[in-house]
Amino acid sequence: MTTPGPLLETRIGDLVLKNPVMTASGTFAYGAEFAPYVDLNDLGAVVVKGISLEPRQGNPPPRTAETPCGMVNAIGLENVGLERFLADKLPYLRRFDVPVVVNVLGRQVDDYVRLAGALSEAGGVSAIELNVSCPNVKSGGQTFGVDPEAVNALVAAVRPAASIPLWVKLTPLVTDIVIIGRAAQEAGADAVCVGNTFPAMAIDVHRRKPKLGNVVGGLSGPAIRPIMVRLCWLLARSLDIPVIGIGGVMCADDALEYLLAGARAVQVGTANFVDPRTTVSIVEGLRKYLAEQGVGRVDEIVGQLRLE
Ligand SMILES: Cc1cc2nc3c(=O)[nH]c(=O)nc-3n(C[C@H](O)[C@H](O)[C@H](O)COP(=O)(O)O)c2cc1C
């Protein structure tokens, strides 16, 4: 008989994940594109590209550029739209024994409500992740995510339409992330994810041109990790709902920083562009760490940062 290894299972509310390592939206396409490299069954969850009601073409190229310790991107939320996602992309993912989390984006509250309703009814979607970093057309283009009242109103409106877990992916670009996290929690969110990219810009000095076709984009990768770990720690200390850490997770130690800071799981984004197998390497690394530390279950290290 073999000795059972440390248990990597974790829970985000009612949703049980085999392990705490998920993909981050927009960096793992619709899953199928990475299946030649990664057995999707080995992941905690697959979080797919942001889906909108209608298809979106996205921004002009170049859409990504490497920066020190990270990258900037301005994909422009290109996606196939809800209808084609349900017809062409979701059936493939349903073949795997892995929770599918769908990141959604809208320009007004009603868009999110309709997306949440359709995805709840579709079957085979385990959770909805609201991307609140989109411009809210009704409030003059300011993102939902910077205003606690807008976050509260959005989540409260979407909640009744979503019969599956509802996660809110926060923007880090706020003065007090805890106020925004509380607004999501009070309106009925099942978890918060922290967070999305930082607005940024990179310039090719020889051509005197922006490196991105869209001029500005979002910064991700290891450059943002220490900022996100802090935000995650602040949220985990203050909220009752689970926190999911995102930003610059490249290896198991990076994931462990988030877990020790209080996250129940992490998402891996930029690292997928460096090595498409990063997620599964992290799962293996976590298993090794727990065995070395003599810890039986991954949950036992969540929030176990020693401050004295
Ligand atoms: C190319 C690219 C596309 C992205 N697309 C989305 C998206 O559609 N929706 C979303 O909420 N976040 C999107 N993100 C943000 C990531 O999901 C993640 O929050 C961010 O990159 C930080 O994690 P990382 O440092 O591990 O990349 C995207 C990031 C990148 C690099």
Ligand 1: residue of 196, 214, 274, 275 to mutate (most ligand atoms within 8 A of CB) is: 196
| Ligand 1 lining (C-beta closer than 6 Å) | 24-27, 49-50, 64, 73, 75, 77, 103, 131, 169, 196-197, 220-221, 224, 246-249, 268-271
CB-based contact 17:272 (threshold 8 Å): no
pLDDT (tens digit, 9 = 90+) per residue, 17-65?
A: 999 999 999 999 999 999 999 999 999 999 999 999 999 999 999 999 9
Q: Which pLDDT score, from 0 to 100, does residue 221 have?
A: 98
pLDDT at 4: 56
Task: Grade residue 171 by pLDDT with cuts at 50, 70 and 90.
Answer: very high
Question: Please, which residues bridge with residue 207 across strands?
Answer: none
Model pTM above 0.85: yes
Place of tokens 């995102």: 246
Q: Token digits for 191?
A: 């978890």
Query: Which of 57, 220, 254 for mutating ligand 1's site (highest number of atoms within 8 Å of CB)?
Result: 220
Distance in Å, CA 65 to ligand 1 centroid: 14
What's at 137, amino acid-wise?
Answer: V
C-alpha 149 to ligand 1 mean position (Å): 24
CB–CB of 186/196 below 8 Å?
Answer: no
Please check the confidence at residue 1 and state whether its pLDDT lies above 60: no
At 11 the pLDDT is 97
Cis peptide before 148 (omega within 30 of 0): no
Q: Do the Cβ atoms of 211 and 68 come closer than 8 Å?
A: no
Task: Kindly list the catalytic residues.
Answer: 134
Cα 210 to middle of ligand 1, angstroms: 20
Distance 122 CA to ligand 1 centre (A): 24
